[in-house]
Chain A
Amino acid sequence: MKSLLWKDTKANIKKIAENAPCYYGIDYIPEGKVNSGYITADKTNFEFEVKISSVKEFKKSDEILLKKKTGLKSIIKIESIRKLDKIPLSDFKLNENINEIKTFAEGERFIVKYREKDELTLSPDQKEIIDDAVSRGFDIPVSLANKLIKYKKSLSDDKYEKLLKRVDLELKKREIDPYEAVGIIAAQSIGEPGTQMTMRTFHFAGVVEMNVTLGLPRLIEIVDARRIPSTPSMVIYLTEKYKHDEDRVRELIKNLENTAIIDVADIITDVGEMNLTVKLDKLKSNDRLVTLTDVISALEKIKGIIYNQVDDERILIKLQQESFKKLYQVQEQLKITPIKGVNKINRAIARLDPKENAWIIYTQGSNLKDVLNMEGVDATRTYTNDIIEVENVLGVEAARNAIYREAENTLSEQGLNVDKRHLMLVSDMMTFSGAVRAVGRQGISGRKSSVLARAAFEITSKHLLKAGLLGEIDPLAGVAENIIVGQPVTLGTGAIDLVYKGNKK
């Protein structure tokens, strides 16, 4: 719901407060319906909220209690006024892009409940459920809206209200206790099933040759925030135009796979004749969708050679200036000459996904930046399992989601049931500083503020010596350091102080 925003003098505001409810003339016509307003005295921070019960066009005959300026255009009725903590202008979504209020503006106050994100994902049905619940005075989380739709339709209104009441009660009962040591619980919840996971590094994920590290090694890799995962791979979704067209997919794969001449052909060196023969391997080249023409066009990049196509699978290469050294060099150069493809993508395979009813490309090797730039790639869904790459290309928020998703997939693939909140906490903890930090010595633990906690974890002497040199102060705020000095920790029941003073005699 839109609100009216305006600047006013302190004296005027005081007057409103004294006279409310009152009529107030303004030189502005609100576009939509408004029933609330915010007043600023300093153009940027809003300190007063008013309830507006009606807005009407100004007519000469109207009686106005207060007015802002001459040239009135409309009259609003202010029901009440309330002082607030300062709300910055940035908390409002405005029609115009302005950063201070000169006279009047209309805007919507952001409600900090991930509203923006929800708006994109919620269906009208779900929105209706939530709005309905809010009007009944219940604060129902978005995740429940979907399930309530069914009951809203099938139950009578008072029964539905009863259901909402019960759900609301359940929600209140389930809220997490303040001071709960959620970090330790999350760490235990992820660590404990680790003993039940397989060590098997490789698993054939349904697609030939695409093997992915899974199980415990993968989980360790994720929390380590390893620069390069042991098996980087991508899932490439395609745009509408491409995803049903097998030929286009084939073409795309061809452009994806990083193929060198040696991958598809044999190179035969004839020292006597001082020439080289590139002989295309039928099997390999078919597999990689490479034709002889592709090889020839790749040869163009090599300088100082003359090449001729002998038959449909051989190319004869001669040197412009004959020398054994050069011959050897060319031979080596030929091997690694790229024919096509994206750097680091070693293999790509398309699969007709039955659920999507569309082609999806799976790759071995990952290069998110270049792949996203390719035509036909659906950049909104294409995915890589390389967390650091996600961070570099898409930013830290994306990396946070990638960590969550990878951890979740790894655990559920092993059939282990771990609450998503624990995984969220891990991914948030790893990324909240603005960059991906590993769990361990070089990451989170190594940057704790407490000297004792760092010393207790790893590399004891280094931390102690350095602390002395820098004159560090350990505030004894965390868990490890308080245990070391023998005091109660500041979590859970240790976070509160309760002293019984008894009756004074």
Chain B
Amino acid sequence: MNFNNVSKRIEKIKFALLSPDEIRKMSQVRVITPDTYDDDGYPIERGLMDLHMGVIEPGLKCATCGGKVDECPGHFGHIELAMPVVHIGFIKEIKTMLDSSCKACGRVKLTDEEVNTYRKTINNMSFESDDPEIIDLSLKKIIEIAVQRTICPHCSAESPKVILDKPTTFREGGIKITPKEIRERLERIPDNDLLFFGLNVSSARPGWMILTALPVPPIDVRPSITLETGERSEDDLTHKLVDIIRISQRLRESRDNGSPQLIIEDLWDLLQYHTTTYFDNQTAGIPPARHRSGRALKTLVQRLKGKEGRFRANLSGKRVNFSSRSVISPEPFLSMNEVGIPEIAARELTVPVLVNSFNVDKMREWIKRGSTPRTPAGKYLAGINYLIRPDGRRIKITDQNAEINSDRVDIGWTVERQMTEGDIVLFNRQPSLHRMSMMAHTVRVLPGLTFRFNLSDCTPYNADFDGDEMNLHVIQSEESRAEARIIMKVQEQILSPRFGGPIIGAIHDHITSLFLLTHNNPLYTEGETLHIISYIDVNKLPEPEIKDNKKYYHGRDIFSLILPEGLNAKFKSHLCSGSRGKCEYEDTIEDSYVVINNGKLIHGTIDDESVGPFSGVIVDKIFRKFGPEAASKFVDNVTRLAVGFLSYRGFSTGIKDYDIPRDAISRIEEISNETLEKINKLVDAFRSGQLQQLPGRSIEDTLEVEILSETGSVRDESGKIASSYLGLNDPSVIMARSGARAKMLNIAEVAGMVGQQSVRGGRLNRGYANRTLSHFKENDLSAYARGFIKSSYRSGLNPTEYFFHSIGGREGLVDIAVRTSRSGYMQRRLINAFEDLKVDDERRVQDTVGSMVQFKYGEDGIDPTRSDEGETVDVDYVAYDEFGD
């Protein structure tokens, strides 16, 4: 083992200003020509593309280090400015320094006494540990004293007020101070006084805030590109540097041959403008420098700033190799820990294998197979794409060179192997809102072109299959693979840290299926049972019930097959807990309570509450008692059993499900007419001033509130009528009551009445002048004119109703659009503020600097993931599990 491979860490980074001397020292070339390439396309010497600053063209060698493209890291050059200019980033600091120091002697305008006392206070502050904000404030207070003083306490000279004429001109008593003078003044401030500005003498001197020499960044930082036409196009920075050199040259010439002061000053200002925009092209008060095409140039600050800037786009997050993206689709016969990937992706994505004495023979064998091997039956086999020699050179494996290379490969080489079944990969769907948005799966290579996974993984990823795409990353290092397997695997993420319950579970049809299988405990013949059980991984049959010499099996017993032995649970099913008010099964404990005793479903209906995400009591209990392995096995079996049973039984829904008898329809009609009448009465009362005003409400508001409560109750009423005719043999009711999809409210909307549409919590009232649509009279306050829909979805909406419905629907859409951006920003801020917190060995919470935030995490030191929905320990369940009832 090579001990030199132990990675080193950067301990710290120190920031400082570059002094003109330093700029010259680190420069490899003084750039004097504002041009880039000569007519032959060769870099001009001492030009902006001088070979001393690095190479971007293949074939050329760097004049400084001799490296070729990719070898040479690039080197700085510099420009000697003809006249000094101010650095735009330090305008504020320059201003305070000019304000607070004496024009004549350079001392900060504080008396010796003040200097002594404040020096002590400043020395007592620690720049590392104290709140930077507080340090800032106290420094400002001290400086303010000096700024206010006009007469220097040391030499009694008077300093007139300095005015900053934005963005870069300083005036004193109306007369401009040139950067040269500013520099002289700043230089004059003695070192001892610099501490009042918070300046660190070892890293920055005030004079350096005025530029006399400008560093020219390496060519790699501002590469020129060659367009298809053969034309060269320079980087924005190069353009800006050309401007600076050109003006600097003209300024120097003018100055040297004694041009009028006015011309020199104009040129000087121009040089200031160009250097300012070179640093920041969005400086307030000056027009941004533009490209010939009219586009504003992207200069230094713009390169770093914002979402597309260097920091957020290239440093905090990077584009990576060994990844792929495709459309996703469902595959219930995969385990929740697996992901199906298409062959084309498997052949492209590789895993590096270090050749050692144990695998060298196997690797040689594999290399011989070439890059697209298959079994004789045509099944996918992993091939080899590249070999990496110990010196780092890559060799691409083709069918032609496979044989030769297999002999050359030896211990110490690295083989880049294609993906194979069982490899561990990371799978991710954006937006990655929580840690379950990126989980580790094991690979299955499948035909087709989409990524596939078990439906129970939809919830953590928040994925559906209407065209969603997901990303897949192949892990490249052994350490990461181990971490992924132990920490990130799907089965390890079953419990959500948000609420300490399962976030993975059966959805939609799977819930419907188990509901049908267990509700009322139906009987199935031996044949049927065997068919259903053939889908799951069990090798025993439940106890049969013998009738007429034939074997029958109970649905609940079939479900019990996938429960682990030793599991105990007792809870209310969704069928009952989901409905408001009293449920019709409340008294028949048989149906409302799920009781599992030693891995056997005694009674109760399996539905969302048992196996669904967010609730899934059974999944939760299995995970806690038997661990992630057992929980994942259970969920896999649930999906298979559900699919197996439902494909046998069949399940479908349609418009027919919502048919209700004629007299029910007329009863709904009746109550809706009653309501309309009531509303009309209310409106009449309002018009005649008879309406009883609610306290604290205007009379108009009172009317609206009254009407809204009327329309609300009529919708509920009609829903009740409609659903009283729809029982548990109705597919959509089954879906709603089992928690598979939709609520009873939605069924009421389809069969009964859609009800009042609303915008911002009130009835519709905008559109035309004093009316919603031109179909109504102005100021019509009746139900129909303000968005009441008496039709059901089943009967169909009339044109005005349809229009109102769209208005109500749009609010939802707008809401979602606004919400996602707002909550996204909130989450970014939260993460940024909290990312540094960790639990230490004693379960205290500290940030990485060492500030103590909590003395015991969450006041009890318990992991929310492992808590019982937030509770430290569910004593009742523990007692039940231990002793039974």
Contact = CB atoms under 8 A, between A and B. Distances in A.
A163 B879 contact: yes
Interface residues of B, number: 107
B524 to A, nearest CB: 37
Q: Which of B202, B209, B851, B854: most chain A Cβ within 10 A?
A: B854
A449 B849 contact: yes
B333 interface: no
Contact of B882 (A166, A182, A191): A166
A464 B90 CA distance: 11
Contact of A167 (B200, B818, B875): B875
Interface string B746-767: 0000000000000011000000
Interface string A406-442: 0000000000011111101110110011000001110
Interface stretch (B545-553, B568-576, B859-867): B859-867
Contacts of B90: 465, 469
Contact of A176 (B829, B833, B847, B863): B863
B15 A451 contact: yes
B6 interface: yes
B863 A174 contact: yes
Contacts of B867: 174, 419, 421
Interface string B9-42: 1111111110000000000000000000000000
Given A189-B498, A209-B697, A429 B837 contact: yes
A151 interface: yes
B192 interface: no
Given A176-B861, A208-B694, A449-B849, A440 B280 contact: no
Contacts of B840: 178-179
Interface stretch (B58-66, B310-318, B319-327, B442-450): B310-318
Given A174-B863, A175-B861, A181-B837, A188 B435 contact: yes
A478 B846 CA distance: 11
B1 A181 contact: no
A468 B204 contact: yes
Given A174-B873, A465-B90, A473-B13, A181 B857 contact: no
Q: Which of A159, A167, A170, A457: most chain B Cβ within 10 A?
A: A170
Nearest to A211: B761
Contacts of A209: 696-697
A483 interface: yes
Nearest to A188: B434
Contacts of B10: 476, 485, 487
B546 to A, nearest CB: 40
Given A176-B857, A461-B89, A195 B819 contact: yes
A456 interface: yes
Contact of A480 (B127, B694, B832, B870): B832
Contacts of B819: 194-195, 197-199, 216
Contacts, number: 356
Contact of B848 (A445, A477, A499): A477
Nearest to A349: B696
B604 to A, nearest CB: 23
B112 interface: no
Interface stretch (B225-233, B257-265, B820-828): B820-828
A89 interface: no
Given A188-B434, A471-B203, A151 B879 contact: yes
B309 interface: yes
B307 to A, nearest CB: 10
Contacts of B843: 175-176, 178
A188 B827 CA distance: 7
Q: Which of A155, A448, A470: most chain B Cβ within 10 A?
A: A470
A370 B10 CA distance: 56
A105 to B, nearest CB: 28
B616 interface: no
A452 B13 CA distance: 9
Interface string A127-148: 0000000000000010110011
B200 A163 contact: no
B131 interface: yes
A425 B845 contact: yes
Contact of A417 (B499, B822, B823): B499
B768 interface: no
A219 interface: yes
B869 A417 contact: yes
Interface string B94-128: 00000000000000000000000000000000011
Q: Which of B89, B761, B837: most chain A Cβ within 10 A?
A: B837
A176 B849 CA distance: 21
B738 to A, nearest CB: 20
A479 B304 CA distance: 19
Interface in B419-458: 433-435
Contacts of A452: 13, 311
A185 B497 contact: yes
Q: Which of B1, B14, B499, B862: most chain A Cβ within 10 A?
A: B862
B498 A187 contact: no
A180 B849 CA distance: 16
Contact of A439 (B128, B829, B845, B871): B829
B89 A484 contact: no
B834 A425 contact: yes
Contact of B833 (A147, A163, A287, A439): A439
A217 B823 CA distance: 9
B177 interface: no
Interface in A451-505: 451-453, 455-457, 460-461, 464-465, 467-480, 483-485, 487, 490-493, 495, 499-502
A212 to B, nearest CB: 13
A500 B839 CA distance: 25
Interface string A305-323: 0000000000000000000
Contact of B12 (A147, A166, A349, A474): A474
Interface string B780-819: 0000000000000000000000000000000000010011
A227 interface: no
B878 A185 contact: no
B305 interface: yes
A47 to B, nearest CB: 23
Contact of A478 (B848, B859, B869, B883): B848
A101 interface: no
A167 B301 CA distance: 58
B148 interface: no
A178 B16 contact: no
B863 A471 contact: no
A178 B856 CA distance: 12
Given A192-B434, A420-B858, A456-B316, A184 B835 contact: yes
A109 B852 CA distance: 24
Q: Which of A194, A443, A493: most chain B Cβ within 10 A?
A: A194
A185 B859 contact: no
Contacts of A205: none
A5 B477 CA distance: 60
Contact of B835 (A174, A449, A464, A479): A479
B483 interface: yes
Given A176-B843, A425-B854, A420 B830 contact: no
A417 B498 CA distance: 8
B696 A347 contact: yes
B832 A429 contact: no
B761 A182 contact: no
A182 B16 CA distance: 34
Q: Which of A191, A216, A347: most chain B Cβ within 10 A?
A: A191
State the 6 A-B residue pairs at the shortest beta-carbon distance, nearest first.
Answer: A183-B837, A191-B827, A471-B203, A471-B200, A421-B858, A194-B823
Given A187-B827, A199-B819, A419-B858, 7 more contacts: A176-B861, A183-B845, A189-B434, A191-B827, A191-B830, A199-B815, A419-B500
20 contacts: A167-B878, A173-B866, A176-B858, A176-B861, A183-B836, A184-B837, A186-B834, A191-B826, A191-B830, A192-B827, A209-B697, A417-B870, A421-B867, A428-B845, A446-B133, A465-B89, A469-B204, A477-B848, A484-B311, A493-B483
